[in-house]
Amino acid sequence: MFDVKPYLNFGLFSELKDIMMFQTAKVESGTVTWKNGLDICPDTLYLESSKVE
């Protein structure tokens, strides 16, 4: 699980505060992307995610 909250006050990430924009998330090329062109580095997802049991 990746918590995006710490990023929401930076650059394009602030647009994800709009639930409609946040819900445009999809998996593409091994990472998460949004309609506004934002993506998260796959390494960041790996290193900063926690295991869901």
Q: Over the stretch 15-42, which tens digit does the pLDDT of each residue have? A: 999 999 999 999 999 999 999 999 999 9
Domain annotation covers residue 33: yes
Domain annotation covers residue 10: yes
CA dist 45 and 1 (Å) reads 9
Structural domain boundaries enclosing 16? 5-48
Domain annotation covers residue 53: no
The answer to whether the beta carbons of residues 32 and 22 sit under 8 Å apart is no
Structural domain total, the chain: 1
For residue 9, give the 3-state DSSP assignment: coil
Predicted local confidence at residue 53, as pLDDT: 87
